[in-house]
Amino acid sequence: MTVRLSNGTYIPIEMHKVRIVQKTTLPPAAQRLAAIEEAGYNTFLLKSRDLFLDMLTDSGTNAMSDNQLAAMMVADDAYAGGESFYRLQSATQDILGFKHCIPVHQGRAAEHLLAKIFIKPGDAVVMNYHFTTTKAHFEIAGGKVLELYGPGALDTESTNPFKGNLDLDRFRAAIDEWGVEHIPFVRMEATTNLIGGQPFSLGNLKDVRAIAAPLGIPVIMDCSLITENAYFIKRREAEYKDWTIGQIISEMMAQCDLIYLSGRKSTCVRGGMIATNSDDYYTTLKGWLPLYEGFLTYGGMSSKELEAMAVGIREMVDIDVASSSADLIEYFVNEMTSRGIPAVTPPGGLAGHVDAMKFLPHLPQSVYPAGCMAAAVYLVSGVRTMERGTISMDRDEQGNDVFADIELCRFAVPRRVYSMAHMQYVADRLSWLMANKELVGGLEFYEEPPVLRFFTGRLNPINNWGAKLVEAFAAEFGPDA
Ligand SMILES: *Cc1c(COP(=O)(O)O)cnc(C)c1O
């Protein structure tokens, strides 16, 4: 945050102009009740037309820049050898310092290919924290995911600036226990999505490399949210406070043997890629690309998106781009904590999160507090959020619920899409909801898919609490609010 008001406060002022807008409407409470009932109290099943603000995810929902849109107009739609690919390759070389660039259709496709070439049954894949698609692909390949986060990483209210650090003692112990030959790589996720977009420090990354490199363990980075992690390093790690985002990203890349990313996040497009300087990795990976993704110079992406990604990679090292969402999230988290709302601290990248077990302390994990909170937030605000708790875990082999480590309601903040007024509105409605929390009850499944049930499962509100909540809300704000 660079602009300071005369009263001394900093505001997340937008360092861009808005020149194309998309209309949004606030559906009245009665419409929201009908919509959530039809959606089985699952926010994934709501329709855009029934939403005011869509804070479900920052994936593929970010605002693109004028330069990205302009680049899409000059895309070269050749099946093989298209210019668009070579522009992406040179952006990768210039900004990330890797000579090989392998486009894929999105982040999970990169994970699929990496699982295929690196992981054998019986391997242990070391990481700071898992992501849903990462874990699924690595486990299908027969690997066991070891999440070696440090003490306090799962504390929702904290002052630890780097909850995404990998714990070095646990890393050394895992190497002793499993043996180097069973550790195909160590994976660092740049801002750990599922624990609140929390970054790791550059010092920690260098320590990880210092342990891994002499043993021949490759360091792989999931760079989907790289700009936010680099921005937090600049803000929170004294040694790098005068470095540019570009210099910090280069230094991060210099610690890695290979990186991959979902272009749907930091680069504001829809696609993904893998990059490396290793000729061996490149040769092995490229053998599989035409089978699973597409020819080497498009990898399942449209040439328009290749062009936009090339520009997105160059733009993401601009501090005004890197800070755009992180600063608004910090403002939003402060708006929440100043109202006594149990938001996850310190603020992370991608979203503001609320600890649903603290927000709704009367609801046990067996009735899914984070799912209840997501539905209730929609009912009182028209804002769509995502449950990240026990509903996002599938049942065990005996059919019992597996309680999540933490129950979070996630308010994603897509880059350059929402304003301070939007954040104030959300914090205000949350404050009303917290004052009326006894009206929020539990949920139970009536339609439950066996895998990834959070996407399409449907639930009932126990004792029909949704209707009562809407009634109390409308009594105070009027029927049109
Ligand atoms: C989104 C994401 C992925 C998966 O990428 P998709 O493009 O959604 O397939 C992987 N890792 C992280 C950290 C992500 O945020």
The DSSP annotation for 419-453 comes to -HHHHHHHHHHHHHHHHTGGG---EEEEE--SSSH
State how far the Cα of 444 lies from the Cα of 462, in Å rounded to an integer: 7
Give the angle subtended at the CA of 190 by the CAs of 184 and 191, to the nearest 5°: 130
Q: Domain tally for the chain?
A: 2
* CB neighbour list of residue 427: distance below 8 Å, 6 or more residues apart: 332, 335, 336, 339, 341
- Determine the pLDDT at residue 477: 96
CA nearest neighbour of 350 among 472, 446, 232, 469:
232
207 Cα to the center of ligand 1, angstroms: 25
Ligand 1 nearest atom to the CA of residue 350, by list position:
15
Confidence of residue 1 (pLDDT cuts 50, 70, 90): low
- Determine the pLDDT at residue 328: 97
Query: Tokens in use for 381?
Result: 């605000």
The set of catalytic residues is 79, 131-132, 222, 265, 388, 454
Query: Tokens in use for 132?
Result: 């849903």
Q: Are residues 297 and 337 in the same domain?
A: no
Q: Are residues 349 and 441 in the same domain?
A: yes
CATH number of domain containing 429 = 3.90.1150.10
381-437 confidence digits (pLDDT tens): 999 999 999 999 889 889 999 999 899 999 999 999 999 999 999 999 999 999 999
93 Cα to the center of ligand 1, angstroms: 22
3-state secondary structure of 41: coil
- Determine the pLDDT at residue 393: 86
Q: Are residues 274 and 215 in the same domain?
A: yes
Q: Which domain holds residue 369?
A: 2-58+321-477
Question: Residues enclosing ligand 1, CB less than 6 A?
Answer: 59, 106-108, 131, 133-134, 189, 193, 222, 224-225, 262, 264-265, 272
- Determine the pLDDT at residue 479: 86
Q: Are residues 204 and 328 in the same domain?
A: no
432 Cα to the center of ligand 1, angstroms: 33
Taking 70 as the threshold, does the pLDDT of residue 349 lie above it?
Answer: yes
132-178 confidence digits (pLDDT tens): 889 989 999 999 999 999 999 999 999 999 999 999 999 999 999 99
Confidence of residue 451 (pLDDT cuts 50, 70, 90): confident
Q: Are residues 307 and 327 in the same domain?
A: no
Q: Are residues 465 and 384 in the same domain?
A: yes
What percentage of residues in the chain have a pLDDT greater than 90?
Answer: 95
310-326 confidence digits (pLDDT tens): 999 999 999 999 999 99
- Determine the pLDDT at residue 427: 98
More confident residue, 395 or 273: 273
Backbone phi, psi, residue 320, to 5°: -70, -30
Query: 278, 297, 320 — which closes off a domain?
Result: 320
Tell me what the mean pLDDT of segment 447-454 comes to: 91
From 127, 189, 262, mutation site for ligand 1 pocket: most ligand atoms within 8 A of C-beta: 262
189 Cα to the center of ligand 1, angstroms: 10
CATH number of domain containing 307 = 3.40.640.10
CA nearest neighbour of 105 among 264, 223, 257:
264
- Determine the pLDDT at residue 3: 85
State how far the Cα of 57 lies from the Cα of 414, in Å rounded to an integer: 7
Backbone phi, psi, residue 372, to 5°: -60, -40
Q: Are residues 220 and 72 in the same domain?
A: yes
Q: For the chain, how big is the Rg over CA atoms in Å?
A: 22
DSSP-derived secondary structure letter, 373: H
**Pairing outcome for strands 443-447 and 458-461:** antiparallel
210-248 confidence digits (pLDDT tens): 999 999 999 999 999 999 999 999 999 999 999 999 999
Going by CA atoms, what residue is nearest to atom 4 of ligand 1? 107
Q: Are residues 393 and 433 in the same domain?
A: yes
Q: Are residues 37 and 96 in the same domain?
A: no
- Determine the pLDDT at residue 194: 87
- Determine the pLDDT at residue 232: 98
Taking 70 as the threshold, does the pLDDT of residue 103 lie above it?
Answer: yes
Q: Are 294 and 300 in contact (CB under 8 A)?
A: yes
Tell me what the mean pLDDT of segment 289-307 comes to: 97
33-57 confidence digits (pLDDT tens): 999 999 999 999 999 999 999 999 9
